[in-house]
Structure 1
Amino acid sequence: MSSNSVGTRSKSYLILRWLWRTLTRRGIGVENARVNHHFTPEERAKLEMVESIDYLPPNSAVYRRWLEKQPHRRAWDRWFMMGSIGVVTGVIAYLLYVFISVLASSKLNATRWLILRADMFVAWIFNATVTAAMAAAGSYLCLTYAPAAIGSGVPEVMAYLNGCQVPKIFNIATLAVKLASCALVVGSGLPVGPEGPLLHIGAAIGSALSQGHSTSLGFTTNLFRRFRNPKDKRDFVTAGVSVGVAAAFNAPIGGLLFAFEEVASFWQHSLGWQLFFACMCAALALNLLKSTGRALMKKGTFGWFDKDLAFEVDLAFSSHVLAVLPAAVIGLMAGLLAVLFTVANTRMARLRNHLHPVLRVGRRRVVEAAVLAALYVTGCMMLPLFFPCTRTECVILSVEGGMGSEMQCQSGLPGRGSIGGGGGIEG
């Protein structure tokens, strides 16, 4: 055995041992909730780089003279701004969903056509290439034009609402890149969704509309000048978060409760009613546009709102009291698996931080996204080949025009409960 091969094996062993020690080191994952966390010098250095926001109005003579000139108890413009944030976010959310649906349906139909007409290997090459290209394009846009758009944006928005000045998270460039990258990555078929990005998008819309000026584009207006203060901007960003959640899940009350429970550190009774009004405007605009799209495709009637919700479970069945026992066991197992997943995810994130000089520099992050996307597609397409085909009565087909999908059953009628007789469909 040559000395080179021995040296290569020893290096590989050292790398694997370092990875294992990094993953299993105490303190790298979840800490005990009863123990106070002590910041390391590196963590303190990061904290010192973030500026705080003073949401209280300045008590100066200039501010008091300006306040005397403002109309007392005027609130119509605030309600108008809340409704505008809701409508604009609902419209943008609809356009985002349409773009995602068109990309996903086009890729799915092309892959299905290649499987039926060509060969599984050709379909795999096409699917993996397109998915990797879309993931790489979204990653490249974020890294090159708007690094603040990386990730879901939820931690950054929550940090801002808690008084941390996070730079460039509400810029026009960040908003545009967020929309484009979200459509590309979600439309590629990866196991991600637009819910988190829509929260960031809504917050950026709330910030942009309420201030009436843009430093990125270099223009300013005289509209809504009295809202150009940290407190009002914070309230409108909170409204943007609420309408983003409401548009993502088609749940206005859910958007209000999310802002109240999760992100808003400052709350007023009047603000709650204004946020609920904004969420209602977002849901109304989104559903009106959905009904318009269905009417144009001859799939429905304009103004007819469906009862569909995100992650809806429309199933009712009879049960026995003893069914509580297996349900409790399943819930306990799910909770334990969630803990394991959280710990593993935290440790993997810390490991990626340790590997930052190797994997997360420059264009290597684009390559990393493309490789992970290709591996995911490979698993999705190759795993079913190890199991036999199963006969089923219904298949899921894409709707014409790329506006989602529907269940097509043996009788030819779409929807639940339309299972007809016959031998079924094999797939």
Structure 2
Amino acid sequence: MNRILIKNARIVNEGTITEGDVYIEGKYIKEIAGAISAKSPDVKIIDAEGSFLIPGAIDDQVHFREPGLTHKGDIESESRAAVAGGITSFIEQPNTVPNAVTHEILEQKYQRAAEVSYANYSFMIGGTNNNLDELLKTNPKNVAGIKLFLGSSTGNMLVDDEKALENIFSSTELLIATHCEDEGTIKKNLEKFKEQYGDNIPVKYHPEIRSAESCYISSSKTVELAKKTGARLHVFHLSTAKEMELFTNKIPLEEKKITAEVCIHHLWFSDADYDTKGALIKWNPAVKTAADRDALWKALLDDRIDVIATDHAPHTLEEKNNPYTSSPAGGPLVQHAVVAMFEAYHQKKISVEKIVEKMAHNPARIFNIEKRGFIREGYYADLAIVNPGLPWNVKKENILYKCGWSPFEGTNFKSRITHTFVNGQLVYTNFKVKDIRCGERLLFDR
């Protein structure tokens, strides 16, 4: 049996940091105490002195591109990058090819992940204008939820029939996660810029095309529909100051029927970065103004926003370098998300306890994930050790994404993930991912 003893760690869990040891036996955390002695000679001892021991991050929104788009990334390559970044579980989205809008296609993805994934996994089923019967077959115990694209993105999954939308919201108790942008507003804005620039629209106009107005129109309608129907709504990748008025911190997370997420890129970049990063920071929804970014940070810290995720969505550099109208939106982030947030910790923007709350505890709570997201005895040993004083530079040689690039290339991070554990297995140490694909299907306590 696998036995690991982590000594002298700064254990970050449920709002506190305590010095102590954690003993792992098999897949599980067996003991947490101030001092633990090795109980047998076969125990592997890891000294984490000076480092934080955190629950492995749970990324509730990724696009790993398998099946059908595997030239960009695949479950094996991107889960490998995720564990290198301290992310031990992911929830993947349905806009693959074919779209995961039937249970037959969904189960094929689960079967593939069982063969190759380094991290724990779940896959959302996609909603369309006409697949309500299929959605209602979903087992809440082993599928994360339903994903609805209310703005077009990679893949043709736009749900724009208002009656179909209301039927979905009123017919299921499953969590519904949404991409909120108003398609009519975007099309109108795009035509205006195409008249002036053709296909070669400067990417700096992306936040004017995928505008704050388009986001608010869609997210406000969606929140209103959730309130009307009583649906369990989780709004993905919020990007504007205006949208923050739609969410509350007045009640505990467990009582919220409507929850919210922000992504790393909307917390890190602003429209000033288009001049240097260009299409590498072209996302949907768009990276917007510094004022929007500041408002997102404020809402994150006062708990109107509940989760930090990545929306990891790799494309090749060749694709990204196309003219604006054919350059796809999205970028790779799972390897660098946790250390990016620790950079904000060094800048005194956020505490380590809050990072753990938003990247591990709250995704586990919101999705009711069984025995993950916390450092608790009896829970799965999904853990990461973060050394806050071990600087490194992001460069081509240490980027693990299949697409081979990162919007953080050239960035110096002060903190480093030194160890990642998935289901009790040490899968990553200091830039080396071991060939241990021990990810398991996430189960949900509902």
Q: Report the TM range for the smaller structure's normalisation.
A: under 0.3
Whichever structure has more strand as a proportion of its residues is: 2
* TM-score normalised per structure 1: 0.24
Whichever structure has more helix as a proportion of its residues is: 1
* TM-score normalised per structure 2: 0.23
